[in-house]
Amino acid sequence: MEISRLEGVIEAVLFTMGNSVELEKIAAAIGHDKDTTRRIIHRLMDKYESEDRGIRVIELQDAFQMCTKKETYEYLIRVAKQPKKYVLTDVLLETLSIIAYKQPVTKLEVEKIRGVKSDHAVNKLVEYNLVCECGRLDAPGKPILFGTTEEFLRRFSVQSVDDLPSLNAEQMESFKEEAEEEVQLKLDI
């Protein structure tokens, strides 16, 4: 098959599936190896970008998904009912950050880091599909392990959790000092 035809087949697969599709499945659909398929998809991605199209293909770990460009949102809501916007409070963002950087992590581990109960925050993040159960810890009680979802990757525009920004040593030291000061203030009260 010629490249344009393969791109068309890939578009049809991604459009029809709606969610992300693993590279391996796309490669099987078009009858090519994963490296060739990835090159064709990246060519398609570049084409959408250069033509300033309203859709784009995004890469999420070892999968791809067709979606609309962020810049088209204001036009989409004129046609469709405005989607529910989730508000990520400081508590939710803090909890989400801990899960993103420490995953897989139990609720108890999150609570130890935050210093407060985190049931509500974790449940909200699961409801928003930013966090999901990703197994159980092999320990007494078999506590649930939590990790981020593909929706998290989409919302924060990263291909994988490896792309999350890393904290340097100075930032870590600053955070530790702030936490120690906060604990001291609580003890003084």
Residue 47, pLDDT above cutoff 80:
yes
The reported pLDDT for the residue numbered 74 is 82
Question: Domain coordinates of the chain in residue numbers?
Answer: 3-70, 90-188
Determine the average pLDDT of the residues in 173-183.
Answer: 67
Q: What distance in Å separates the CA atoms of residue 39 and residue 101, rounded to the nearest whole number?
A: 30
For the domain covering 90-188, report its CATH number: 1.10.10.10
Highest-confidence segment of 49-53, 74-78, 168-172: 49-53
The tokens of 78 are what? 């004129």
Determine the average pLDDT of the residues in 37-59.
Answer: 92
Report the predicted TM-score, pTM, of the whole model to 2 decimal places: 0.58
Q: What distance in Å separates the CA atoms of residue 114 and residue 58, rounded to the nearest whole number?
A: 33
Residue 132: pLDDT band by 50, 70, 90 thresholds? very high
The reported pLDDT for the residue numbered 80 is 76
Q: Which residue has the higher pLDDT, 168 or 166?
A: 166
Residue 182: pLDDT band by 50, 70, 90 thresholds? low
* DSSP E strands, 82-179: 105-106, 131-136, 144-148
The tokens of 110 are what? 């999150």
Domain 3-70 shares a fold with domain 90-188: yes
The tokens of 62 are what? 């070892």
For the domain covering 3-70, report its CATH number: 1.10.10.10
The reported pLDDT for the residue numbered 27 is 94
Determine the average pLDDT of the residues in 78-89.
Answer: 74
CA atoms within 13 A on the CB side of 75: 7
